[in-house]
Amino acid sequence: MIASGAGSSGASGSRASGSANPAPLPNALPPVWVVDLDGVVWLAGTPLPGAAEAVARAREGGFRVVFVTNNAGPPRARLLEMLASCGIDAESRDLVTSAEAAGALLEPGSRAVLCAGEGVAEALEERGVEIVNEGPADAVVVGFTRLAGFDDLTRAMRAVREGAMLIGTNDDPTYPTPDGLVPGAGALLAAVATASGTEPIVAGKPYGPMVELLRARLLRIALVVGDRPSTDGLLARALDAPFALVRSSATPVAPHGVVAAWEGGSLEEVVGLALAHACG
């Protein structure tokens, strides 16, 4: 069901003979650092000190930085604008969201009820999924939104009870903001799952749909940086890459048995540690 994704054709290192623009061999591509956004680059869009400088240092060190977020709320253009306002230049190819991972679970032409933000609507429309207000539907997709009310939960629950597959963009229980934690997409997903009596399929970090999407798009993942051992740390393990932990308000006191190769209080700190190791 997962789309093969751009770039996957290079995974075998094969290329068409006589092609004017042959696909580069994997070893010719820069190694990729997968970097989380919330709690690492910003807090609810407010830039964290030193993040832009840290990304610049990683790039100068020869690494490609790809931002991978479970926050499926904003559309891509908004996330890229937020990065730019933090002083970080990024193209669309440098960003992977859990909304895309959720969209990859659905076939073009299928119907979905949403209880999620604009980012999910955008990803599903790009995938060719028809968004409907209520069931019957092939899927219900739940993601982070501050706008979900009781009526939205009711529409979602009823569609699932009528047979729709329940998909969560992620199951993060909380979302970090400068004012403290707020309920995350996982809290909304739990409400729909409980009311409908269904186990959801979760698309984002650290689950299979996101792992497959990243494997298909990124050929040389050298590091995963994030503030949650339960998502970013387990993603690193699934990708067989080292994990660098940025401690934030969302970092649980007791990590989920994930060992961080590097750990610090900011992206700047862990990038310094990782670069010292990579270059040493």
Please list the active-site residues.
Answer: 36, 38
- Please give the residue whose beta carbon sits closest to Mg ion in the complex: 39
Q: Which of 227, 236, 237, 244 binds Mg ion (CB under 5 A)?
A: 227
Cβ nearer to Mg ion, comparing 76 with 228: 228
Smallest gap from residue 45 Cβ to Mg ion (A): 13
User: Considering only CA atoms, which of 75, 81, 80 is closest in space to residue 92?
Assistant: 80
Alpha-carbon distance 142 to 34, whole Å?
24
Pair 169, 143: CB distance under 8 Å: yes
Q: How many residues of this chain interact with Mg ion, rule: CB under 5 A? A: 4
Distance between CA atoms of 280 and 270, rounded to whole angstroms?
15
Residue 38 near Mg ion by CB under 5 A: yes
Which window, 74-82, 83-91, 187-195, 224-232, contacts Mg ion (CB under 5 A)?
A: 224-232
H runs (alpha helix) in the chain:
51-60, 76-85, 98-103, 118-127, 150-161, 185-196, 208-217, 234-239, 267-279
39 binds Mg ion (CB under 5 A): yes
Question: Max Cα separation, the chain?
Answer: 59
Q: Please state, as a whole number, how many other Cβ atoms lie within 10 Å of the Cβ of residue 262.
A: 20
- Options 55-63, 113-121, 180-188, 219-227: segment touching Mg ion (CB under 5 A): 219-227
The answer for 50, left when phi > 0, alpha when psi is -120 to 50, beta otherwise, is left
Phi, psi values for residue 198, rounded to 5°: -130, 140
> Which of the stretches 9-17, 39-47, 84-92, 217-225 binds Mg ion when contact is defined by CB under 5 A?
39-47
CB-nearer residue toward Mg ion: 63 or 144: 144
Residue 253 CB, shortest distance to Mg ion, in Å, is: 16
> Which residues does 249 contact at the CB level (< 8 Å), separation at least 6?
39, 43, 176, 180, 181
Per-residue DSSP letter, 232: I
Pairwise CA distance, residues 173 & 46, whole Å: 21
Query: Applying CB under 5 A, does 184 fall inside the site for Mg ion?
Result: no
Among 36, 138, 171, 268, binds Mg ion (CB under 5 A): 36
CB of 236 to Mg ion, least distance (A): 13
Of 36 and 138, the one with the shorter C-beta distance to Mg ion is 36
Smallest gap from Cβ 261 to Mg ion, in A, equals: 17
| Least distance (Å) between residue 40 CB and Mg ion | 6
Stretch that binds Mg ion, among 6-14, 28-36, 57-65, 78-86 (CB under 5 A): 28-36
Give start and end residues of each alpha helix (H) in 87-149: 98-103, 118-127
Nearer to Mg ion, 38 or 171 (CB): 38
Give the nearest distance from C-beta 228 to Mg ion in angstroms: 5
The nearer residue to Mg ion, 167 or 245, going by C-beta atoms, is 245
Q: Where does this chain bind Mg ion (CB under 5 A)?
A: 36, 38-39, 227
